[in-house]
Structure 1
Amino acid sequence: MTKIGGDSDRGMGGESTLDKMTIPLSSPLFLHPSDSPSLKLTQTVFNGDNYDLWADAVCNGLDAKNKLGLVDGTVAKPDGSEDSNYEVVAWRQCNAMVKAWLRNVIDEKLHPSITFSAIVLEIWKELKERYSAGNAPRVHQLKSKLTECRQGNRSVADYYTHLKSIWDELANYSRVPTCTCGAAAALAKEKEEEKVHQFIMGLNTALYDHLHSNLLMEDNLTSLSRAYALVLREERHKAVTRVREEQAEVAMAACTGGGRGKGASSEEESHEYEPPRCTHCKEWYHTEENC
């Protein structure tokens, strides 16, 4: 419980009229002793271009602090004056605290735009109106990213993480109501298969072409988690094979160099044996015909 009151509120008997007023622990107007104006709700700092990501992180932090109601409008300022209503004092303190928390996660160049706004709800609404791109443009942008997403030279883990971040953000904009009938399982399976196709299509074909074909040849398309596990295992196998081939190459070079005398000519060095290398996958000890 938080006591509300101070010396300025004390009456003739030296006891404040608000000293016995307390805020319940479950109330959004309760401030924990650990709450400080220097607190950072998230590591994501708003720079003017990342509103959606930042707003989601801030809302999550405020919800954890039970202060989300101050920015979504559900916790309005109580009626009355601070002399007659202790909740007004508590609301003013929480409003100032949340305003300080917002300033801590907003780039300093944007501070002048919120400095003179006293109500944190007004600050939140203003930021949303000014910087939120809207659902339709953002969904279009995300779907364009999804279409263009390719593994390239990235690791499988980095590629999958980037792909999943797009899927998760798209899910936040989904307007499809939650289904509770018997078709729910079928719809979930169809969405899972669509993600598997998207994941496989973006893989580096030079490295995983054979695995790509094997996954699609199955009667029942495997789950996304299994597809990811199979590709990750193949990546690790290729890494181990590459290390072994590099070690064999170094050993062969050492043996070839050790057999030459001190008087070996540069012409003899230029005809040093080199094992065959595939022009397709760039691996050693086989040719493209046997790849």
Structure 2
Amino acid sequence: MFVSSYFTQLKSLWDELSSIVCVTPCICGNAKSSIDKQNQDCAMEFLQGLHDRFSAIGSQILLMEPFPSIQCIHNLVRQEEKQQEINIRTTPNIDSAAFQAFKPPSRPSGKRQRPFCEHCNKHGHTLATCY
């Protein structure tokens, strides 16, 4: 799954959850820390659900100070995904050409094939002449 579609699915679930569980504003500032904690939890959930190929960017994001917003994290991971796609497209596939160059011939040339019996699994005769 692409990062964008994964993020969209998670975002719709988070929006649905936030519509059910409302944080009421208050004077003491407790709501801000609660919202920050909720945003950090969403970011961690997003990073944990990513494929292993994004582990390097995930580690870099976790070390950022101050911790970035979920939108910033999404943008960084999308940039990494695009970069990985570019690297995959530009890497030439040399292995298949090398294997074709050194492929041994399927039949030895100049040598006659010995008959093979499929009934007794032996060379030297065919099924029609098997006893």
TM-score greater than 0.5 by the shorter chain: yes
Where relative contact order (Cα < 8 A, 6+ residues apart) is larger, the structure is 2
SS at 2:64 equivalent = coil
Counterpart of 2:17?
170
Residues 249 and 172 (structure 1), Cα distance of their counterparts in 2 relative to 1, 3 Å cut = same
Instruction: Give the TM-score normalised by the residue count of structure 2.
Output: 0.67
Q: Pick the aligned partner of 2:88 from 227, 230, 242.
A: 242
CA distance in 2, matches of 1:191, 1:256: 53
In the TM superposition, what are the counterparts of 1:54-69 in structure 2 within 5 Å? none
Query: Gapped runs of 5+ residues in structure 1?
Result: 1-153, 270-291
Counterpart of 2:104?
267
Counterpart of 1:217?
63
Paired AA for residue 43 in structure 2: V
CA distance in 1, matches of 2:42, 2:103: 57
Instruction: Give the TM-score normalised by the residue count of structure 1.
Output: 0.32
SS at 1:221 equivalent = coil
Counterpart of 2:49?
202
SS at 2:104 equivalent = helix
RMSD: 2.8
Percentage of identical aligned residues: 23
Moved over 3 A (4+): none
Paired AA for residue 82 in structure 2: R
Counterpart of 1:157?
4
CA distance in 1, matches of 2:21, 2:5: 25
Counterpart of 2:121?
none
CA distance in 2, matches of 1:266, 1:239: 31
Residues 191 and 268 (structure 1), Cα distance of their counterparts in 2 relative to 1, 3 Å cut = same
